[in-house]
Amino acid sequence: MTAAAGLSPENGGRVPDTQPGAALLRLPPDPSRVNVQLYSKIKYNELKGRWEGPDTGMVQRDGDHRWRYDSALGVSPVTVEYGSGKQAIYEYDPKTHVTEPRVTSMPIRPLSIEGLKNWLNAHGVPDPHYMDSVPVKPMDKAEPPKKVPPPLDDINVYEVKRGDSIYKIAGNDHLIVSEIYRLNPWLDDRLEQWSQLGGGTRGRNPNELVEGDKITMPQGYKVEKTG
């Protein structure tokens, strides 16, 4: 799965190793969909009916899609720099990547190597091997290597069902939605926002999916039931 579009290059083209709030990106939208033993430190507490993140102090109760801070886990809340100082995070929505601290809200995006790895782990995707080294801005205009298309068997394709929408297919995850648009240039996200453009020539309106359409999905992503 490619999710590097949000990475923030710094220091002469180098991507930072870590970022404030990176641990929150490891919290999955639905822990039951990923192998938490491989990709996360979270565990399920059967007595309390909730998932617990011992390194963040966050818990996700059954039936609740948000992660919320619980001091009973014995760790301090995750803090991020905001305004004139640090703000503690008491709620986090892993689908929109927006926090709900007591003062304000802010997005937590994968802007660093650790942040991207954590986000990939939260979606059940192993760290890609190329993330072991920090990307560096090229110093010359050497000819880029040719892209080799993946084998057909490795392409993750989803067949649209009646009543589907891009956001249903993506589980309301904005980063997955962006990846779907990137992988499917025949879908024109601009038409979704500006319906007065009509059919146009740039692509089809994503709101007009047809049952049987084939959509290329990010590698490793599994679509939940959309009905």
Work out the pLDDT band at 49, boundaries 50, 70, 90: very high
- Residue 133 pLDDT exceeds 80: no
- Residue 43 pLDDT exceeds 80: yes
Task: Tell me the per-residue pLDDT of 66-93, one tens digit each, with 9 for 90 and over.
Answer: 999 999 999 999 888 776 678 888 899 8
- Residue 174 pLDDT exceeds 80: yes
Task: Tell me the per-residue pLDDT of 208-219, one tens digit each, with 9 for 90 and over.
Answer: 888 888 899 888
Domains defined for the chain, CATH in brackets: 4-132 (no CATH), 154-217 (3.10.350.10)
Work out the pLDDT band at 127, boundaries 50, 70, 90: low
DSSP secondary structure string for all residues of the chain:
---GGG---BTTTBPPS--TTGGGGGS-S-GGGS-HHHH-S-EEETTTTEEEETTTTEEEETT--SEEE-GGGSSPPPEEEETTEEEE--EEETTTTEE--SS---B----SHHHHHHHHHHTT-PPPGGGGS-----SS-PPPPPPPPPPGGG-EEEE--TT--HHHHTTT-HHHHHHHHHH-TTB-HHHHH-GGG-STTT-B-GGG--TT-EEEE-TT--PPP--
Share of the chain above pLDDT 90, in %: 13
